[in-house]
Amino acid sequence: MKALILAGGMGTRLRPLTFSTPKPLLPLLDRPMVMHIIDSLPEEVDTVVLAVSYMKDQLESFFRQHDCGRRIVLVNEEEPLGTGGAIRNVRQHLDDTFFCFNGDIISSLDLRDLLAFHRRHGGIGTLSLWQVPDPSAFGVVGMDGERIIDFQEKPAPGTAISDLINAGVYVFQPELLDHIPSGVVSLERKVFPSILDRGLHGYRFQGYWVDCGTPESYLRAQSELLEHGRSMDRARKREAKVIGLNYLDRTDLNGCVIGPHVCALPGSSISEGSTVERSVLMEGAKVGRGCRVKDCLLGPGAQVADGEAVQGRVLAFLQP
Ligand code: GDD
Ligand code: MG
């Protein structure tokens, strides 16, 4: 069986991090975002097709260097074709029922259950669904039982037909390809509304679900993973205090207070008198002395200068 991962978006909401790293390769604890998806695939998936465009060379080099235990096929779009166009562009690889993923989703969804549900219900496809208080930033479905009878992509606030959203993980029949016109096409805006009469079903699940596309949701995804058993402490500490669940991998902590929900990757460091809460320090990121850091994403090599207080910021390495 094949799985398709849509991984060609530009990650604009995570700039400046996505100026140097494509979103699917941004680290979430111990591995890049996209590897959380690949590692969750059922065994029967032997081939992963990645629809890429933005920064495809970095993705290519990552998959050349990492053996994921499955055949990996990268298919490039010269110009981004949209989520629907991207699926059509890989059609030569899709000859049977396939999984399809937005490349920025972290969830507790059981893919075997989703597939079994799809096989039981038949039809052209099954969307996983998640309930949220404010659905306006997502695709929203109208349901009749387990059948999707309406689809609205990013409805204006107050106009959503339900609080059930498209969770961005699908199972499709290859017949879907007959309904995607050529060119730049949105799966959500153009294709879904046109296939409602072909048997499109919705599968609800419980647990956790996060679209990691914004700094705030990226940190939420990290918190979910930490709360679900992915914490680790391999920090080098000198008089440092660690609070709550964190992922600390060969980071240097000196006379600081860290946690909860901090990820600090190899080569990062935090100096005396600083506190760091609910943040990411990617490789080599440095927090100086007497700093306050909260809800921040520090890219590889990024620095917070002595005495600075930063909250809710995304910081990248600045060329001196
Ligand atoms: N190959 C390719 N080409 N991939 C693309 C393109 C493209 O032109 N455009 C977007 N993608 C990829 C992105 O990299 C991402 O993995 C996925 O498609 C979804 O794009 P986002 O930009 O993250 O969309 P969104 O988060 O605003 O909305 C989507 O996800 C929501 C759930 O998280 C929609 O599918 C919504 O309906 C859904 O609720
Ligand atoms: Mg997204």
The per-residue pLDDT for 319 is: 65
Give the pLDDT mean for 88-92. 97
Give the pLDDT mean for 104-121. 97
Instruction: Please write the tens of the pLDDT for every residue from 93-104.
Output: 999 999 999 999
Give the pLDDT mean for 75-85. 95
The per-residue pLDDT for 92 is: 96
Average pLDDT, the chain: 96
Give the pLDDT mean for 254-272. 98
124-163: buried (b, 16+ CB within 10 Å) or exposed (e) per residue?
bbbbbbbeeeebeebbbbbbeeeebeebbeebeeeebeee
Q: For residues 260 and 205, what is the distance between their CA atoms, to the nearest angstrom?
A: 28
Q: Are 200 and 192 in contact (CB under 8 A)?
A: yes
Give the pLDDT mean for 155-160. 94
Show the CA angle centred on residue 72, arms to residues 232 and 263, nearest 5°.
Answer: 20
Per domain, the residue ranges of the chain are: 2-211, 231-315
Ligand 1 atom at shortest distance from the alpha carbon of 82 = 8
166 lines ligand 1 (CB under 6 A): yes
Count Cβ atoms below 10 Å from residue 60 Cβ, excluding itself: 15
Residues with CB under 5 A from ligand 2 (ion): 104, 211, 213
Report the catalytic residues: 154
Give the pLDDT mean for 38-54. 96
Query: Does domain 231-315 fall into CATH 2.160.10.10?
Result: yes
CA of residue 245 to ligand 1 center, whole Å: 30
The per-residue pLDDT for 318 is: 74
Q: For residues 153 and 186, what is the distance between their CA atoms, to the nearest angstrom?
A: 10
Percent of the chain past pLDDT 90, that is, above it, reads 98
Which residue shows structure tokens 């959500």? Answer: 188
The per-residue pLDDT for 136 is: 94
Count Cβ atoms below 10 Å from residue 57 Cβ, excluding itself: 10
9 lines ligand 1 (CB under 6 A): yes
Give the pLDDT mean for 222-232. 96
Q: Flag whether pLDDT at 320 surpasses 70.
A: no
Q: Flag whether pLDDT at 290 surpasses 80.
A: yes
User: C-alpha distances in angstroms, 149 versus 144, 145, 161, 193, 243?
Assistant: 6, 10, 11, 9, 47
Show the CA angle centred on residue 239, arms to residues 235 and 243, nearest 5°.
Answer: 60
Q: Flag whether pLDDT at 152 surpasses 80.
A: yes
Query: Does domain 2-211 fall into CATH 3.30.70.260?
Result: no
Nearest ligand for residue 168 CA: 1
Give the pLDDT mean for 203-221. 96
Q: For residues 274 and 283, what is the distance between their CA atoms, to the nearest angstrom?
A: 19
